[in-house]
Amino acid sequence: TFTSISSRNTDFIKWASHVIERLLKLPAIVSFYILPSSLDTPMRIDV
């Protein structure tokens, strides 16, 4: 952990940059709902 979070803290900047780079490599998650018929309960689909 960091003793202080500041834009002047170079260790924090390196760590934050690494986290953002790793986040960009994660797969996208798309959620939507399917309604088979008007009387059914919607089903959530996560891709």
Three-state SS for the chain is CCCCCCCCCHHHHHHHHHHHHHHHCCCCCCEEEECCCCCCCCEEEEC
**Mean pLDDT (the chain, rounded):** 82
What is the structure's pLDDT at 11? Answer: 84
Is the pLDDT at 18 greater than 90? The verdict is: yes
Residue 41: predicted pLDDT: 92
Mean pLDDT of 3-9: 67
pLDDT digits (tens, 9 = 90+) for 23-45: 888 887 888 899 988 888 999 98
